[in-house]
Structure 1
Amino acid sequence: MKLSEVAPAGAVEPLAAILELQAHDVTASTTVRDPREAVGRHVADSLSALELPFVASATRIADLGSGAGWPGLALAAALPEARVSLVESAIRHCRYLERAIEVSGLENADVVNARAESWPEGIGVHDLVTARALGALAVILEYAAPLLIEGGHVVAWKGAASDEEVSAATAAAAILGLEPRGVVAVTPFPGARDHTLHAYCKIAPTPSRFPRRPGMATKRPLG
């Protein structure tokens, strides 16, 4: 799989630079370092969300738990008119993300060294929040909801999600002012199994008690 087969023409050069950095920088938060493999497992997987119209049209994106920068960096490269914040609490990962932005020349991406619950500047200003391999759906929704404008969306990249996880997320969504907008099955690269995108829309204000204190979303999950 080649970058030119999965990414828009203008995104190929910056993404190639990021994949080269990822291949050699030991602080990159991934075990997939071979650029040829990473095209599918990271880039194509990230860009699979572009089939959702509200992702393709997003203008202000927060990528939570950004780690090695996926899907945030791929979306920044593919959507040059969008502003993408890579939200990451670990400083060593933030330093890697800053290097990735530098080598790629992506001027529409920035790094936020914070937990999602402790980022007041991010509240209520995003039309899209993304999370890939971050945690249970209910936890992701609690992190995301306060950051969204009404009418904004959350997209979570998941493998197989149990009925119990989906049910808990639906209950959490109702508390947070969110509504499920479907599950999209994707096969971004050969051999991908059970890959799904879980989408939610913010249809009402999130109660003022959110965000809760850092760590509460995982200690006492909603739903």
Structure 2
Amino acid sequence: MSGAVDARIAELVARYGLPDESTRPLAQLLEALDDEHAPTTVRAPEEAIDVHLADSLAGLELPAIRDARSIADLGAGAGFPGLPLAVALPKARITLVESIARKCAFISAAARAAAIENAEVVAARAEEWADGIGRNDVVTARALAPLGVLAEYAAPLLREGGLLVAWKGRRDDDEERVAAAAAAELGLEIEEIRPVAPYAGADHRHLHLLRKVAPTPARFPRRPGMARKRPLGARVGGSSDRPQR
């Protein structure tokens, strides 16, 4: 690990008021990514520290994430934002939900390498995770799907009062209109769209917050694939997600 990367980790630890002992596991997550088998196109520590670590830790700007005791990270990919949040929030239980077996294996190996004990991996699609229904304070998703689809994935998994936090890029009026319509069907409402700047050059990054304000109808979740095939509200256009996972 280069001195520049070490210094950048120290900056993130200071920025978010993390304990000094979080430095080592964050560095070990970067080391785990620096492998040709990591399920992401961004692997080099000098780039991954911003694209993966800093972007994930931007969620700590939200009191709801800092105070959460149960977080489900959907479509966890290579483990972001779930694993960095697990390091930052040792009293929270983080469940990383991922349907692709090789990605689950990578997440588990990375968590072991970083000695992260408060994270677990669930090999399932969000719609099939019956044990998670109604049990999560926060659901996170990063570079996964349009907002309306994310709302449908998340709503059944949230307790009432819980929050979906979606990491997104440039705002899209059509996507947000569809998400608002979907949210109304699901017992959610859009609470805030917060611009964030997790690292230099990270333009147009936003955290979309949708609060569960009413019970989700019993017909949800629909069977796997239906949220994308027949999205609530209207046909969803392309996603503006950045960065690559």
In the alignment, which residue of structure 1 is the partner of 2:11? 5
Contact conserved, 1:146 with 1:211, CA < 8 A, in 2?
Answer: yes
In the alignment, which residue of structure 1 is the partner of 2:171? 161
TM-score scaled by length of structure 1: 0.97
In the alignment, which residue of structure 2 is the partner of 1:106? 116
Residue 28, structure 1, aligned to residue 38, structure 2: yes
In the alignment, which residue of structure 2 is the partner of 1:17? 28
Task: Please report how far the alpha carbon of residue 161 of structure 1 lies from its aligned counterpart in structure 2 after TM superposition.
Answer: 2.8
| Structure 2: stretches of 5+ with no match in the other structure | 234-245
The CA deviation string for residues 25-80 of structure 1, in whole angstroms up to 9 with x for no partner, is x2322111111221111111111111111011010000000001010001000000
Residue 38, structure 1, aligned to residue 44, structure 2: no
Task: Please report how far the alpha carbon of residue 222 of structure 1 lies from its aligned counterpart in structure 2 after TM superposition.
Answer: 0.5
Alpha-carbon distance between aligned partners in 1 of 2:211 and 2:21, rounded to the nearest angstrom: 29
In the alignment, which residue of structure 2 is the partner of 1:76? 86
Contact conserved, 1:160 with 1:196, CA < 8 A, in 2?
Answer: yes
Residue 208 of structure 2, aligned match among 181, 198, 207: 198
Contact conserved, 1:184 with 1:197, CA < 8 A, in 2?
Answer: yes
Alpha-carbon distance between aligned partners in 2 of 1:11 and 1:36, rounded to the nearest angstrom: 19
TM-score scaled by length of structure 2: 0.89
The CA deviation string for residues 73-114 of structure 1, in whole angstroms up to 9 with x for no partner, is 010000000000010000000000110111011100000000
Task: Please report how far the alpha carbon of residue 4 of structure 1 lies from its aligned counterpart in structure 2 after TM superposition.
Answer: 1.3
Task: Please report how far the alpha carbon of residue 179 of structure 1 lies from its aligned counterpart in structure 2 after TM superposition.
Answer: 1.1
In the alignment, which residue of structure 1 is the partner of 2:137? 127
Contact conserved, 1:27 with 1:93, CA < 8 A, in 2?
Answer: no
When structure 1 is superposed on structure 2, of 121-130 and 38-47 the one drifting more is: 38-47
Residue 174, structure 1, aligned to residue 184, structure 2: yes
Contact conserved, 1:126 with 1:149, CA < 8 A, in 2?
Answer: yes
Task: Please report how far the alpha carbon of residue 126 of structure 1 lies from its aligned counterpart in structure 2 after TM superposition.
Answer: 0.3
SS in 2 for 1:3: helix
SS in 2 for 1:44: helix
| Structure 1: stretches of 5+ with no match in the other structure | none
Alpha-carbon distance between aligned partners in 2 of 1:168 and 1:180, rounded to the nearest angstrom: 11
SS in 1 for 2:116: coil
The CA deviation string for residues 146-175 of structure 1, in whole angstroms up to 9 with x for no partner, is 000001000000011310000000011111
The runs of 4+ residues in structure 1 deviating greater than 6 Å are none
Residue 92, structure 1, aligned to residue 102, structure 2: yes
Task: Please report how far the alpha carbon of residue 178 of structure 1 lies from its aligned counterpart in structure 2 after TM superposition.
Answer: 0.5
Residue 116, structure 1, aligned to residue 152, structure 2: no
SS in 2 for 1:206: coil
Residue 61 of structure 1, aligned match among 64, 67, 71: 71
The CA deviation string for residues 110-129 of structure 1, in whole angstroms up to 9 with x for no partner, is 00000000010010000000
Say how many residue pairs are matched: 222
